Amino acid sequence: MKITKRLTAAKLAANRKNAQNSSGPKSRQGKRFASRNAIRHGILASDLLLLGESRAEFDWVRERLFSDLAPVGFRESVQEEIYGANYWRLRRVYRAETGEITKLLCELNPAAELATAEHSRQYLQAASDLKELEKIEEQINLQARVSSDNLEWLRKLPYGEPANVLVQMIELAREVENEDRRPGEEMPAAAESRKPASAESAATSPEDGGFTRDLLLNSLECLKKAIVQEICYHGQYPPLRLEAKKNALHVPQEAVLNRFTRYENHCVDKMTEAENKLERMQRLRRGDEVFPPSARGT
């Protein structure tokens, strides 16, 4: 028969006094270590951390999970560790996704993108064409005509109808000028000496060349407006395209995204499986109703 030893009042008072001298850890580190006294197992902890990952952060996650899931015994603790390990891996997915996006953004070189863009080259070409056209405008103002070299250059411009109209006006002016130079009779030598035989003679006088000059300048102005529109369009397009490309990089490329998604789904599935197993074990331990493995309780 077991005999229960009774404590005297003096012994009980002495025990209570001694207990006051050992009330647990006082420092923050001591309290943190004492909070993990109930954690009996750490099977996966030594192999789960990677270089650069924080042991203190990992321990903080383990403590919170242990407190929330409250496993009892080895089998339940294993499921809690499986849940925690996959949660830790899931955090890596999000860090890896952020790292992939950051790497792509760092590799993006805005200056190089703008320099090599097709629209940038077209912008520079349009700006150069506009500057050359201003020289032709000056020639028209002075001579009311366009030289053969400039006419050949105008024929090659890729600005559609405005360029074609200006070329046609120049050719028409040249035909009129040639008609004026071919009179029905040969001019006397004295008359030839008084009238210059240069290309500017007939059309450069203010009276005779005024209509031709206005006609050419009006056609040239239409071409200048078309080139200015090209400059505006090609000047605005590269920055907008660069901004769109930068925004597109905020989501990883398809191959990387698929890899992240598969790994994320794997971790979530493992966490759900471990949580369901742990809940089943805890229900069995408490004597609660347990659903079959294939069924889901609501």
Please tell me the total number of residues recorded for the chain in this structure: 298
Cα 290-293-295 angle, rounded to 5 deg = 80
The values of phi and psi at residue 2, to 5°, are -80, 130
Token pair, residue 219, equals 């056609």
- The CA-atom distances, in angstroms, between 233 and each of 68, 112, 123, 221, 293 are 60, 20, 8, 19, 65
| Whether the Cβ atoms of residue 166 and residue 227 lie closer than 8 Å to each other | no
Cα–Cα distance, 103 to 249 (Å, whole number): 10
Task: Give the pLDDT band (50/70/90) at residue 94.
Answer: very high
Task: Give the pLDDT band (50/70/90) at residue 190.
Answer: very low
Q: How confident is the model at residue 1, as a pLDDT? A: 47
Q: What is the pTM of this model?
A: 0.49
User: What residue type is 145 in one-letter code?
Assistant: R
Helix (H, G, I), strand (E, B) or coil at 106: helix
Residue pointed to by tokens 């703008």? 114
Q: How confident is the model at residue 182, as a pLDDT? A: 60
Read off the pLDDT of each residue in 22-50 and give the average, rounded to a whole number.
59
**Is the pLDDT higher at 17 or at 194?**
17
Number of H helices and E strands in the chain, helices first, is 12, 0
Instruction: Indicate whether 54 pLDDT > 80.
Output: yes
User: What residue type is 124 in one-letter code?
Assistant: L
Q: How confident is the model at residue 123, as a pLDDT? A: 82
Task: Give 194: exposed, middle or buried? Use CB within 10 Å, 0-12, 13-18, 19+.
Answer: exposed
Question: Among residues of the chain, what percentage have pLDDT more than 90?
Answer: 26
Helix (H, G, I), strand (E, B) or coil at 251: coil
**Ranges 86-90, 193-197, 239-243: which has the least confidence:** 193-197
**Is the pLDDT higher at 177 or at 83?**
83
Read off the pLDDT of each residue in 93-106 and give the average, rounded to a whole number.
90
Any idea what DSSP says for residue 82? H
Token pair, residue 141, equals 């103002």
Read off the pLDDT of each residue in 286-291 and give the average, rounded to a whole number.
84
Q: How confident is the model at residue 18, as a pLDDT? A: 72
Cα–Cα distance, 235 to 227 (Å, whole number): 12
| Mean pLDDT of the chain, nearest integer | 78
Read off the pLDDT of each residue in 235-241 and give the average, rounded to a whole number.
77
| 3-state class percentages of the chain: helix first, strand second, coil last, to nearest 5 | 75, 0, 25
Q: How confident is the model at residue 193, as a pLDDT? A: 44
Per-residue pLDDT of 129-174, as tens digits, reads 999 999 999 988 888 888 889 999 999 998 889 999 999 989 888 8
